[in-house]
C-alpha cells in the first residue's frame, strides 16, 4: 500500500456518542497530526441549554406525527410551543429510548417505556437520534476547527458506549440504526466501535490522570456509572506485570437509575391527589421534583416544598400550603430506597466475590445519579471502609470522554466473561449415564455406526473466566457426510447462555436462556476434497472432516472487545504443491521454512478464502504474522 493510500485511510477524527436514557453527549478527538488540537479530548458544548442541565448534553426526546415522520428532536422538543403542538396534532412522544433498546421482554420496568409511533421501529428512532447527533457534531467541529468533515469519508471512527450487560443483540440494533442514519456504509463496518460503560469510565479516570490506580496489583478499584436509566459496575486492578490493567470481577449492569426515583415520586403524587382538584398536576409536580428536590435531597428529616399552584391554593389535609406541596424527608427517602438498596446489594455481592488475595478500597462514581447527595451519603455509610471518589465536574461527560480515551489507549489487557459461550451439538450416547438413558428415545445413528444425542450444549468458554485479548478459545468438532459435497459448507450457531447453571448441558433445558450470538458460515469447498474417506457399518462409504470453532474476546485492530469474534478453522496435516497455495488464506500457523519448489507437509490451520486470487497484478507475496496463541518462533512466509 502506498503512503498516499495509507494517509487517505487513516482515521482523522474519532467521535463518541454517549446515548443516555435522558440525555446524549458527544466527545471527540482530532487525529490529524497537522492540527493544533491533535490528540486532545474535546466536547460538543453548544447544545441548547435547558433549565438545570448542561449545554454539553442534548435531551433524548423525539416527536413523530401520525405518519411516522419526525417533527421535533432534542432541546426543541421540550419547548412549551412544541408540547402544545404535539398535543394539538396528536404527535407521539418518544423518550427513554435506551430502555427500549434494552430489549428485555421480562423486565418489570417495561411498563415505564414509551410507545413507538405506528410503523416506526426502535432502530428507526435511534437512527433519527444518531443522525441528529452526527449532524450537530459535524456542524460544531466544522465551525470550531475549520474542518470539512464531508471530506473525511472513511476517516471518521464512531465510538458508542453501552451498558455493561449489552451484547450482540443490542449492538446489532445500534449497527442497523447507524447504517439507516447514513453514518456507516454497511452494518458490518469497522468504523463503528463499541465499549462498555464500565471500561469507558475506567479509561476516563486513567486517561485524564486525575486519579491514580493503586500500584499494588492486589488492590482494585470499583467503577460505577450511575445514570438516569442504568447503573453499571466494573472492577479493575493493575496486571501482575504492572504494565497494563485487568478486570478482576465480572461486570454488571442494572436498570434503575435516577429517572426511576422521579417515577416513584410521580406515582406517589398521583395517588395522593387522586379524586381531587389537583389530580391533573402530578406530572408537573414530578417534573419540578426531578429538577429541584431530587438534586438537593440529603436529609431524611427535612421537608421539601414544590410550588405547583397559585399562592391562594391551600388544603391542609393534602399538605398543600400557598400552592406548594409539602414532601417529608422520610417520604422522599422512600422514593430512593428501592434503587439505592439495589445498588448497595450489587456492590456487596461484587466485593464478596473478588478472588482471594485481592481487595477493593476505592469506589469511583460518575453519571447523573452519582451527583445525588443522598445516594452518595448512603454509599458512604454502607461502605465506610472504602474511599468514595467523585469528580468535582465532568460527572455527566465522563463516559463520552472515556470512550475517546479507550480508543486512544486500550489499557485493559484481560477481562472476565459474564456469560457462558458454546454451540449446540450432538454428544455420544453413553448408556451408563442416567441423563443419557432418560433421553435414549432421541438418540440418532451416525454414519460410523455410533449413536449420539441431539440438543447438547458444548461449552467453549465458561462464564467468569479471565480472558486475555489475544487468546483464542477453541473446540474441535467432526462433520460426517456420505459425500464430499456435503462438507463444502459449514454453518455453526454460536450461543450464549445467560442462566445460573455453572455448566449447562442441554439447550432444551431453560431454552429461553440460550441466546444466539452470531452464525459462523464457512466455505470449506477447497478442503472438502481432502476429507478422510472411511468405511462404515455394512461397507457404506462416508467422509469425515474435523474443524475447530474459535472464539476471541480481545480488541483486534479497530474492533472492540465487546464484540465477540468467532470463526471456523481446521487443522490438517496435508501434502500439497505450491500451485495450490494461492487458493488458500493462511490465518494462523507455524512454519520454519518453505521451499516453494518442493512438496512439503506441515500442520496448518486454514481459513477458506472469500475469493480466489486471479488478478496477476496483485502483489505476489503474502505476509502472515505470527499469533501469540502458538508456541515457538513466529515466521513470516512469502510465496513467490
Which has more confidence, 353 or 307? 307
Query: CA-to-CA distance for 218 and 222, rounded, in angstroms?
Result: 13
Over the stretch 398-422, which tens digit does the pLDDT of each residue have?
999 999 999 999 899 888 988 999 9
Confirm whether 8 is domain-assigned.
no
C-alpha cell read off for 257: 437509575
Indicate the average pLDDT of the chain: 83
Mutual angle of helices 122-145 and 168-180, in 10-degree steps = 60
Instruction: Specify whether 25 is located in the same domain as 148.
Output: yes
Confirm whether 466 is domain-assigned.
yes
Query: CA-to-CA distance for 216 and 188, rounded, in angstroms?
Result: 40
Confirm whether 79 is domain-assigned.
yes
- Average pLDDT score over residue span 335-361: 93
Q: What are phi and psi of 116, to 5 degrees?
A: -75, 150
Instruction: Specify whether 229 is located in the same domain as 174.
Output: no
Instruction: Specify whether 328 is located in the same domain as 365.
Output: yes
Instruction: Specify whether 168 is located in the same domain as 233.
Output: no
DSSP string, 129-197: HHHHHHHHHHHHHHHHH---GGG-TT-EEEEEEE-TT--HHHHHHHHHHHHHTTSSSSTT-TTEEEEEH
Domain assignment of residue 476, given as a range: 419-581
Q: Please work out, in degrees rounded to the nearest 5, the angle formed at the alpha carbon of residue 333 by the alpha carbons of 330 and 337.
A: 130
Instruction: Specify whether 518 is located in the same domain as 572.
Output: yes
Q: Is the dihedral of CA 524, 526, 527, 531 positive or negative?
A: positive
pTM score > 0.85 for this model? no
Q: Which segment of 72-81, 91-100, 501-510, 626-635 scores lowest on mean pLDDT?
A: 626-635
- Average pLDDT score over residue span 85-101: 94
Instruction: Specify whether 182 is located in the same domain as 317.
Output: no
Instruction: Specify whether 460 is located in the same domain as 376.
Output: no
**pLDDT-above-70 percentage for the chain:** 83
| Helix or strand holding residue 451 (H, E) | strand 451-461
Output the pLDDT for position 281.
95
Query: CA-to-CA distance for 206 and 587, rounded, in angstroms?
Result: 34
Q: Which residue has the cell 426502535?
A: 122
Domain edge (last residue) among 195, 226, 255: 195
Q: What are phi and psi of 297, to 5 degrees?
A: -60, 125
**Which segment, 434-438, 516-520, 588-592, is predicted with the most confidence on average?**
434-438
Output the pLDDT for position 566.
55
Give whole-number Cα distances, 494 to 359, 502, 566, 605, 639, in Å.
35, 18, 8, 20, 34
Confirm whether 247 is domain-assigned.
yes
Instruction: Specify whether 165 is located in the same domain as 294.
Output: no
**Which segment, 35-39, 525-529, 575-579, 587-591, is predicted with the most confidence on average?**
35-39
Query: CA-to-CA distance for 306 and 335, rounded, in angstroms?
Result: 15
Over the stretch 246-292, which tens digit does the pLDDT of each residue have?
999 999 999 999 999 999 999 999 999 999 999 999 999 999 999 99
- Average pLDDT score over residue span 181-189: 93
Query: CA-to-CA distance for 361 and 344, rounded, in angstroms?
Result: 15
Strand partners, 490: 522
Q: Exposure pattern of 25-34 as b/e (b: 16+ CB <10 Å)?
A: bbbbbbbbee
Compute the CA torsion angle 379, 383, 385, 391 (nearest 10 deg).
-30
Query: CA-to-CA distance for 551 and 469, rounded, in angstroms?
Result: 11
Instruction: Specify whether 381 is located in the same domain as 456.
Output: no
Nearest to 22, CA basis, from 96, 75, 114 = 96
Confirm whether 263 is domain-assigned.
yes
Which has more confidence, 470 or 426? 426
Q: How confident is the model at residue 440 (pLDDT cuts 50, 70, 90)?
A: very high
Query: CA-to-CA distance for 324 and 113, rounded, in angstroms?
Result: 29
Confirm whether 250 is domain-assigned.
yes
Instruction: Specify whether 478 is located in the same domain as 568.
Output: yes
Output the pLDDT for position 603.
31
CATH for 69: 3.30.420.40
Q: For residues 380 and 294, is the Cβ–Cβ distance under 8 A?
A: no
- Average pLDDT score over residue span 449-470: 91
pLDDT tops 50 at residue 608: no
Count Cβ atoms below 10 Å from residue 610 Cβ, excluding itself.
7
Over the stretch 320-343, which tens digit does the pLDDT of each residue have?
999 999 999 999 999 999 999 999
Instruction: Give the 3-state DSSP-derived string for 11-52, with helices as H, strands as E and coil as C.
Output: CCEEEEEEECCCEEEEEEEECCCCCCCECCCEECCCCCCCCC
Structural domain tally of the chain? 3
- Average pLDDT score over residue span 292-305: 96
Query: CA-to-CA distance for 324 and 311, rounded, in angstroms?
Result: 8
DSSP string, 307-362: E-S-TT--BGGGTEETTEEEE-HHHHHHHHHHHHHHHHHHHHHHHHTSPTT-EEEE
Q: Which residue has the cell 409539602?
A: 326
Q: Is 2 helix (H, G, I), strand (E, B) or coil?
A: coil
Confirm whether 602 is domain-assigned.
no
Assign residue 457 a region (left: φ > 0; alpha: ψ between -120 and 50; beta: otherwise): beta
Output the pLDDT for position 7.
45
Query: CA-to-CA distance for 490 and 524, rounded, in angstroms?
Result: 7
pLDDT tops 90 at residue 296: yes
Nearest to 416, CA basis, from 200, 162, 198 = 198
Instruction: Specify whether 427 is located in the same domain as 386.
Output: no
Q: For residues 245 and 237, is the Cβ–Cβ distance under 8 A?
A: yes
Output the pLDDT for position 299.
96
Question: Could you say which DSSP state residue 506 is in?
Answer: B
Query: CA-to-CA distance for 589 and 604, rounded, in angstroms?
Result: 6
Give whole-number Cα distances, 47 to 50, 404, 480, in Å.
9, 20, 61
Q: How confident is the model at residue 208 (pLDDT cuts 50, 70, 90)?
A: confident
Q: How confident is the model at residue 240 (pLDDT cuts 50, 70, 90)?
A: confident
Q: What are phi and psi of 559, to 5 degrees?
A: -90, 140
Domain edge (last residue) among 581, 597, 628: 581
Nearest to 387, CA basis, from 359, 355, 426, 352 = 359
Nearest to 255, CA basis, from 112, 450, 371, 119 = 112
Over the stretch 521-574, which tens digit does the pLDDT of each residue have?
888 887 788 888 999 888 889 998 888 888 877 543 223 333 445 555 554 443
Q: How confident is the model at residue 54 (pLDDT cuts 50, 70, 90)?
A: low
Which has more confidence, 238 or 624? 238
Confirm whether 493 is domain-assigned.
yes
Domain edge (last residue) among 371, 390, 409: 390
**What's the farthest any 2 CA atoms get from each other in the chain?**
101
Instruction: Specify whether 41 is located in the same domain as 179.
Output: yes
Amino acid at each position: 500500500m502506498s503512503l498516499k493510500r495509507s494517509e487517505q485511510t487513516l482515521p482523522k477524527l474519532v467521535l463518541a456518542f454517549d446515548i443516555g436514557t435522558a440525555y446524549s453527549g458527544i466527545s471527540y478527538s482530532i487525529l490529524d497530526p497537522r492540527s493544533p488540537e491533535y490528540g486532545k479530548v474535546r466536547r460538543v458544548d453548544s447544545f441548547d441549554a435547558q433549565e438545570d442541565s448542561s449545554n454539553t448534553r442534548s435531551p433524548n426526546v423525539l416527536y413523530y406525527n401520525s405518519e411516522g415522520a419526525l417533527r421535533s428532536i432534542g432541546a426543541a422538543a421540550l419547548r412549551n410551543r412544541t408540547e402544545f403542538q404535539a398535543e394539538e396534532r396528536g404527535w407521539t412522544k418518544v423518550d427513554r429510548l435506551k430502555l427500549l433498546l434494552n430489549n428485555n421482554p421480562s423486565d418489570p420496568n417495561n411498563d415505564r417505556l414509551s410507545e413507538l409511533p405506528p410503523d416506526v421501529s426502535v432502530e428507526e428512532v435511534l437512527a433519527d437520534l444518531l443522525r441528529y447527533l452526527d449532524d450537530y457534531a459535524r456542524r460544531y467541529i466544522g465551525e470550531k476547527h475549520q474542518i470539512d468533515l464531508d471530506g473525511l469519508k472513511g476517516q471518521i471512527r464512531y465510538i458508542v458506549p453501552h451498558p455493561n450487560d449489552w451484547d450482540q443483540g443490542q449492538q446489532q440494533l445500534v449497527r442497523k440504526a447507524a447504517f439507516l442514519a447514513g453514518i456507516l456504509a454497511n452494518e458490518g463496518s469497522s468504523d463503528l466501535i463499541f465499549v462498555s460503560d464500565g471500561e469507558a469510565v475506567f479509561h476516563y479516570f486513567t486517561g485524564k490522570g486525575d486519579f491514580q490506580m493503586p500500584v499494588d496489583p492486589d488492590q482494585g478499584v470499583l467503577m460505577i456509572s450511575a445514570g438516569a436509566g442504568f447503573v453499571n459496575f466494573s472492577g479493575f486492578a493493575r496486571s501482575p506485570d504492572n504494565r497494563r490493567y485487568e478486570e478482576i470481577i465480572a461486570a454488571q449492569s442494572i436498570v434503575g437509575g435516577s429517572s426511576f426515583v422521579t417515577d416513584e415520586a410521580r406515582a406517589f403524587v398521583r395517588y395522593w391527589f387522586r379524586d381531587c382538584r389537583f389530580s391533573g398536576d402530578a406530572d408537573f409536580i414530578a417534573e419540578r421534583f426531578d429538577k429541584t428536590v431530587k438534586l438537593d435531597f440529603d436529609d431524611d428529616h427535612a421537608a421539601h416544598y414544590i410550588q405547583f399552584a397559585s399562592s391562594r391554593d391551600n388544603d391542609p389535609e393534602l399538605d398543600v400550603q400557598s400552592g406548594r406541596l409539602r414532601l417529608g424527608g422520610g417520604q422522599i427517602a422512600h422514593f430512593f430506597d428501592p434503587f439505592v438498596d439495589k445498588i448497595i446489594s450489587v456492590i456487596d455481592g461484587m466485593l464478596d466475590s473478588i478472588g482471594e488475595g485481592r481487595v477493593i478500597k476505592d469506589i469511583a462514581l460518575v453519571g447523573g445519579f452519582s451527583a445525588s447527595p443522598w445516594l452518595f451519603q448512603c454509599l458512604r455509610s454502607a461502605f465506610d471502609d472504602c474511599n468514595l471518589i467523585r469528580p468535582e465536574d465532568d460527572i455527566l461527560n465522563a463516559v463520552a470522554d472515556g470512550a475517546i480515551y479507550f480508543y486512544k489507549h486500550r489499557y485493559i489487557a484481560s477481562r472476565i466473561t459474564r456469560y457462558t459461550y458454546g454451540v449446540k451439538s450432538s454428544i455420544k450416547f453413553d448408556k451408563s449415564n442416567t441423563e443419557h438413558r432418560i433421553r435414549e428415545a432421541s438418540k440418532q445413528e451416525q454414519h460410523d455406526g455410533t449413536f449420539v444425542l441431539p440438543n447438547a450444549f458444548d461449552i467453549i468458554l465458561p462464564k467468569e473466566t479471565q480472558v486475555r485479548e489475544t487468546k483464542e478459545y477453541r473446540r474441535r468438532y467432526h462433520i460426517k457426510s456420505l459425500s464430499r459435497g456435503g462438507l463444502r459448507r459449514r454453518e455453526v450457531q454460536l450461543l450464549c447462555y445467560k442462566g445460573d447453571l455453572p455448566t449447562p448441558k442441554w439447550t432444551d433445558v431453560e431454552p429461553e436462556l440460550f441466546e444466539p450470538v452470531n452464525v459462523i458460515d464457512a466455505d470449506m469447498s477447497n478442503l472438502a476434497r481432502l476429507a478422510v474417506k472411511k468405511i462404515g457399518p455394512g461397507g457404506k462409504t462416508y467422509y469425515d472432516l474435523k474443524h475447530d470453532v474459535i472464539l476471541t474476546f480481545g480488541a483486534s485492530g479497530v474492533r472492540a472487545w465487546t464484540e465477540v469474534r468467532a470463526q471456523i478453522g481446521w487443522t490438517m496435516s496435508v501434502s500439497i504443491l505450491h500451485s495450490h497455495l494461492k487458493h488458500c488464506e493462511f490465518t494462523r500457523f507455524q512454519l520454519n521454512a518453505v521451499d516453494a519448489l518442493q512438496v512439503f507437509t506441515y500442520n496448518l490451520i486454514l481459513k477458506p478464502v472469500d475469493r480466489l486470487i486471479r488478478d496477476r497484478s496483485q502483489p505476489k507475496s503474502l505476509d502472515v504474522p505470527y499469533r501469540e496463541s502458538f508456541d515457538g518462533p513466529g515466521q513470516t512466509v512469502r510465496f513467490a
